[in-house]
Amino acid sequence: MAIPREISEQLCAGGGVDGLQRQIPSNEDLSFQARFHHALSDPVRLKILYALQTQPLCVCVIKEIISIADSRLSYHLNVLKTAGLISGAQQGNWIIYTITDFGRSGLR
């Protein structure tokens, strides 16, 4: 493969193409990071995270704060939950959502 000498020297010093490939995270790790960044890429989801950072909340309070339709709120909560940024626990007729430690780290 024809590449610039400077690049070739750096590549050889780092173990060649194989050495470079070993430094790249696995597809599983990259998928996890993609879900994390996707979850943080929407202002509605960020607002939910900031609200949950103050205290655990039920869906009805989150809906009041966010002012969106139930189906949209459900979608956003599911994205956050799938990314591991929030968790939900059934308490009687309500689901109480809390921010996870991982979710808190995303707000720093």
pLDDT in tens, 25-44: 999 999 988 988 999 999 99
* List of domains in the chain: 1-33 (no CATH), 40-106 (1.10.10.10)
Q: Is the Cα torsion angle 53, 59, 65, 67 positive or negative in sign?
A: positive
pLDDT of residue 7: 87
Return d(Cα 108, Cα 92) in angstroms, integer. 33
3-state helix, strand, coil in the chain (%, to 5): 65, 15, 25
pLDDT confidence of residue 9: 87
Tens digits of residue pLDDT in 35-74: 889 999 999 999 999 999 999 999 999 999 999 999 999 9
Q: Provide CB contacts within 8 A for 62, sequence distance 6+.
A: 48, 51, 52, 73, 77, 97
Supply the pTM of this predicted model.
0.77
